[in-house]
Amino acid sequence: MTEHLRASGVAAGRVSQDSIDANFSDLHPAYAPHEAMVAADRCYFCHDAPCITACPTAIDIPLFIRQIATGTSEAAAETILEQNILGGMCARVCPTETLCEQACVREAAEGKPVEIGRLQRHATDTLMAQDVHPFTRADATGKTVAVVGAGPAGLACAHRLAMHGHDVVIFEARAKGGGLNEFGIAAYKSTEDFAQKELDWLLQIGGIEIRYGQALGEGLSLTSLQSDFDAVFLGMGLGGVNALALEGEETDHVIDAVAFIADLRQAEDLTALPVGRRVVVIGGGMTAVDAAVQSKLLGAEDVTIVYRRGQEAMSASKYEQDLAQQKGVRIVCNAAPVGIEGNGSLSGVTFAYTEAQDGKLVVTDETFTLPADQVFKAIGQTLAETPEALKLDGRKISVDDVGRTSVAGVWAGGDCAAGGDDLTVTAVAEGRDAALDIHATLAGAS
């Protein structure tokens, strides 16, 4: 029996290298120049464009599309990057189908929007291929800012601060930067090591140092950062993982979905990455979909996403849900996990059906068991370390509309901060806006 036909257990090599190459190829291939011109020509170039309002970073979308249509893609890239310095990655991973493209007038009129995301990728890729950085630093201010986390929020904040002449030190817990762009999204959404290429390109602005292996709470304190720097921005994301709180959760092959995706993104040989024959993913967000689809692409025979509420309540977009089902993933809704089966060796997960009663979700007495030799938990994350003295809003850091925390001189943004969607594009907007407020504050203190 060949490796890819193994009948049971968690095993590597379930599919061939050729299949891996095909399965993990670029989900939305780049436009050829002529294709970009044709796609750009569909834009109505609305004066009061709803797509701009729908973009968390407020990119002037009609302007950059017009620039592509007139053969100036580099200028289009500058229009994008002025608002969103990680516009290349956002073009790949942003749920445009629920943001700018959903708001597109063409979508309302024809059910087929202008492909804004792919056009954005065309523009930013064109500029980055020239290995030039379109922004320059202002004269040095003599001010220094600490940024915790080299993810989208931290990088956007650091870049904007560097543009204004401040010196920035980023403290990053991992050995590589990029945050969720590098470790937390499906491999078929960002191919050819793009996250690291974009990071290297961003750093060309100068004035930014990254210190790796530095985590808040592990030899690095907020108090020391406040003492050593003129301002602090927290953009460390959510490193903690919510638990199922079920007996047997520590059983082998009951795994955090984020860790699985990170391992997959860092693997040099995907044929060597083990996957179960029968996989169950618990959760309803983008992480659940990414874990489920990639399990299927690695050769899992039976993959099921189970979500406690109705499918319409899933935080994964309709597009992502459809993608999962197209790849052969089954979605079961209105069911919550109540037991890990196997007596020390995973054999399945028992779920109870749920229903709404008086506006609350309750677990019923009706249960069913799904056989499983691998389970992924995708039920959300929490702060790995709660910074001292900071006020929280639920499980996240409380901030105002420009990212100021309850502690003077400390700002926060991205997934670790309350209020915004957990999206790359939202993190970029929050990091950028916090940087502008930090700059204004430091300028006023001069």
Query: Per-domain residue ranges for the chain?
Result: 33-128, 144-239+383-445, 241-377
The yes-or-no answer to whether 144-239+383-445 and 241-377 have a common fold is yes
> Are 234 and 410 in contact, with CB atoms under 8 Å apart?
yes
Q: Residue 5's pLDDT is what?
A: 36
How far apart (Å, rounded) are the C-alpha atoms in residues 270 and 304? Answer: 21
CATH architecture of 33-128: Orthogonal Bundle (1.10)
Topology of the domain covering 144-239+383-445: FAD/NAD(P)-binding domain (3.50.50)
Q: Residue 218's pLDDT is what?
A: 84
- Please provide residue 148's backbone torsions phi and psi, each rounded to the nearest 5 degrees: -100, 110
Q: Residue 283's pLDDT is what?
A: 97
Could you read off the pLDDT tens digit of each residue along the chain, which spans 446 residues?
233 334 458 999 999 999 999 999 999 889 999 999 999 999 999 989 999 999 999 999 999 999 999 999 999 999 999 999 999 999 999 999 999 999 999 999 999 999 999 999 999 999 999 988 999 999 999 999 999 999 999 999 999 999 999 999 999 999 999 999 999 999 999 999 999 999 999 999 999 999 999 999 888 999 999 999 999 999 999 988 889 999 989 988 999 999 999 999 999 999 999 999 999 999 999 999 999 999 999 999 999 999 999 999 999 999 999 999 999 999 999 999 999 999 878 999 999 999 999 889 999 999 999 999 999 999 998 888 777 789 999 889 999 999 999 999 999 999 999 987 889 999 999 999 999 999 999 998 65
Query: pTM for the full model?
Result: 0.94
As a CATH number, domain 241-377 is 3.50.50.60
Q: At what angle do helices 318-326 and 286-297 cross, to 10 degrees?
A: 20
